[in-house]
Amino acid sequence: MGHHKKGQSVSISDVARVAGVAKSTVSRAFIHPTLVAAPTRERIRRIADEMGFRPSRVARALSTGRTGLVGLVVPTLSNPFFGPLVAAMQQAAEEEDRQIVLMISELSAERETRIVERLSREVDGLIVATSLCEEAFLRKVAKEIPLVLVDRKVGRLASVLIDTPSGVAAIADHLIGMGHRRLCYVSGPPGSWADAPRIAALRTRAEQSGAEIVVAGPIPPTVDAGIEIAETVAAAGVTAVIGYNSATVLGLLHGLGTRGVRVPEDVSVASADDFILLQSTKPAVTVLHLPLEEAGQAAVRMLERLLRGERPGRPVVIGPRLVIRESTLRARPPGQQAGQS
């Protein structure tokens, strides 16, 4: 037996040879253990263990009813929000000896519903990020399989929430504190569950401080959409604008610049996320930093609890951090021209 390095790829045939039994007996010892006499079964498993034999996920699934697979559904990978989230979940899942099966719904509720239906029959548990599915459907899935939602809340279903509403409220406080009284919020993406609470938080802040919020959009999370909406923003008579996403803010900077609107002298600009390199733009943009790695790890930990048969407990809420840079400036007193100090 000394000729086998532990952990080197060991096959069923290798175990059968050393144990002096047929290959089919080794398979049965792992897949249908009750069909193999206890002493033989224990001897095969001990030898397999010493040789570093790892039954395949398929064999393990047949014997335990568990695949070791976790389904992860995201709407798109073109939005840089999801890259760090997926990477963090994969790492956390590997630490639990699980593998992630990643599916992309291409921002379609219908496609996401089909994907979730199919995956739920093939994996041990599911994590769905910024889900577009109907509430009733998600509740049904959660009864059939452990399910964790990221950045979407449905009743008492297990969820990890990134508290962007309190984050955009912090941006509004920062801008209002610098004398801005008429602010524009560029909203999106269309059909987003998370956008309404952001708008509500901004309106509450504005009402409390006698400021006004103009909502533009919703627009998709792209640079082109940001360039297009710049015309609406420039015509809205606002002194500050908050974009829901960094790609749109990048487009907005470009679109405002081509219209001769200077940032921050004429209009202050801030972004509700920091995924595109907004610290290297001119001017560097004030942003919310969203701790996505933390959110990804929390979602996997919550799924592990569900897989152990525990209750999900309260939603995990992860708070963003405001990073103030050069793109937000004190508002000019009404009637004062740019360039006057």
Among 6-15, 30-39, 59-68, the range scoring the smallest mean pLDDT is: 59-68
Question: Which pLDDT tens digit goes with each residue over 262-286?
Answer: 999 999 999 999 987 778 889 999 9
Q: Are 278 and 271 in contact (CB under 8 A)?
A: yes
Residue 43, both tokens: 């001897």
Q: pLDDT at position 57, please?
A: 63
CA dist., res. 317 & res. 160, Å (int) = 6
Question: Which pLDDT tens digit goes with each residue over 205-225?
Answer: 999 999 999 999 999 989 999
Query: Taking the CB of residue 134, how many other CB atoms lie within 10 A of it?
Result: 12
Question: Which pLDDT tens digit goes with each residue over 79-138?
Answer: 888 999 999 999 999 998 899 999 999 989 999 999 999 999 899 999 999 999 999 999
Which residue from 198, 201, 171 is spatially nearest to 268, judged by alpha carbons? 171
Q: Which amino acid is at 202?
A: L
Question: Which pLDDT tens digit goes with each residue over 316-331?
Answer: 999 999 999 999 999 9
For residue 225, give Cα distances in angstroms to 104, 218, 221, 287: 22, 10, 7, 19
Residue 106, both tokens: 């291409």
Q: pLDDT at position 340, please?
A: 43
Exposure letters 42-66 (e unless 16+ CB within 10 A, then b): ebbbebbeebebebeeeebbbeeee
Q: Output the CA angle 109-111-117, nearest 5 degrees.
A: 100
Indicate the DSSP class of residue 162. E
Q: Are 127 and 302 in contact (CB under 8 A)?
A: no
CA dist., res. 98 & res. 130, Å (int) = 22
C-alpha R_g of the chain: 27
Q: pLDDT at position 224, please?
A: 97
Residue 22, both tokens: 């047929």
Beta bridge partners of 210: none
Mean pLDDT calculated for residue range 282-303:
95
**φ, ψ of residue 254 in degrees (nearest 5):** -65, -50
Q: Hunting for tokens 């290297």 — which residue is that? A: 280
At residue 189 the predicted structure's pLDDT band, cuts being 50, 70 and 90, is confident
CA dist., res. 262 & res. 87, Å (int) = 37
Q: pLDDT at position 65, please?
A: 66
| Type and span of the H or E element at 166 | helix 164-177
User: Residue 4, SS3?
Assistant: coil
Question: Which pLDDT tens digit goes with each residue over 231-267?
Answer: 999 999 999 999 999 999 999 999 999 999 999 999 9
Residue 38, both tokens: 């206890």
At residue 338 the predicted structure's pLDDT band, cuts being 50, 70 and 90, is very low
* pTM of the predicted structure, to 2 decimals: 0.75
Q: pLDDT at position 2, please?
A: 46
Question: Which pLDDT tens digit goes with each residue over 122-181?
Answer: 999 999 999 999 999 999 999 999 999 999 999 999 999 999 999 999 999 999 999 999
Q: In this model, does residue 59 exceed pLDDT 80? A: no
- For the chain, give the percent of residues with pLDDT over 90: 74
At residue 35 the predicted structure's pLDDT band, cuts being 50, 70 and 90, is confident
Q: Are 45 and 36 in contact (CB under 8 A)?
A: no
**φ, ψ of residue 70 in degrees (nearest 5):** -120, 130
